[in-house]
């Protein structure tokens, strides 16, 4: 089955400074990843992939279609203020995510070590 992309909705949300897009991925249940979905949406809208965050990608029982919701920001600093950190982490690759958590663990160990010496 070939995957196809259909834009269901594209809404401008000036209050939050973002656009909210909903797409239908036909015939892609179990096959499309978050990064692939972001690439397809960025190609459709002609935007950079870094400015698109996948919010949800959901399939339904008995259907081969997947519906995805995406937030499109002009300024990612605004996105960091609005959205929880996990939404950015799940957009990373496994290697990048592992590196992030390793660095975070090391920085926490450094903070705890001086407190224990006193």
Per run of 10 residues, the mean pLDDT along the chain (length 118 residues) is: 85 95 91 91 93 93 92 93 90 88 88 66
Dump strand ranges (E) for the chain. 4-13, 18-26, 52-59, 66-73
Are 10 and 19 in contact, with CB atoms under 8 Å apart? yes
> What pLDDT, on the 0 to 100 scale, is given for residue 65?
92
Q: CA dist 84 to 22, 59, 75, 81, 112, Å?
A: 20, 23, 16, 8, 25
Residues 6 or more apart in contact with residue 97 via CB below 8 angstroms? 89
Global pTM value: 0.81
The torsion angles phi and psi of 96, rounded to 5 degrees, stand at -65, -40
pLDDT at 110: 82
Cβ atoms of residues 34 and 71 within 8 Å: no
pLDDT at 94: 87
The pLDDT, as a whole number, for residue 116 is: 63
């Amino acid at each position: 089955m070939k995957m196809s992309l259909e834009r269901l909705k594209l809404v401008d949300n000036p209050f939050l400074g973002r656009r909210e897009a909903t797409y239908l991925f036909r015939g892609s249940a179990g096959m499309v990843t978050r990064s692939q979905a972001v690439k397809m949406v960025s190609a459709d809208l002609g935007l950079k992939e870094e400015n698109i965050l996948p919010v949800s990608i959901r399939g339904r029982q008995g259907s081969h279609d997947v519906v995805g919701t995406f937030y499109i920001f002009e300024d990612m600093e605004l996105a960091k203020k609005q959205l929880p950190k996990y939404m950015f982490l799940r957009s990373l690759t496994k290697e990048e995510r592992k590196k992030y958590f390793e660095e975070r663990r090391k920085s926490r160990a450094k903070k705890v070590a001086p407190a224990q010496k006193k």
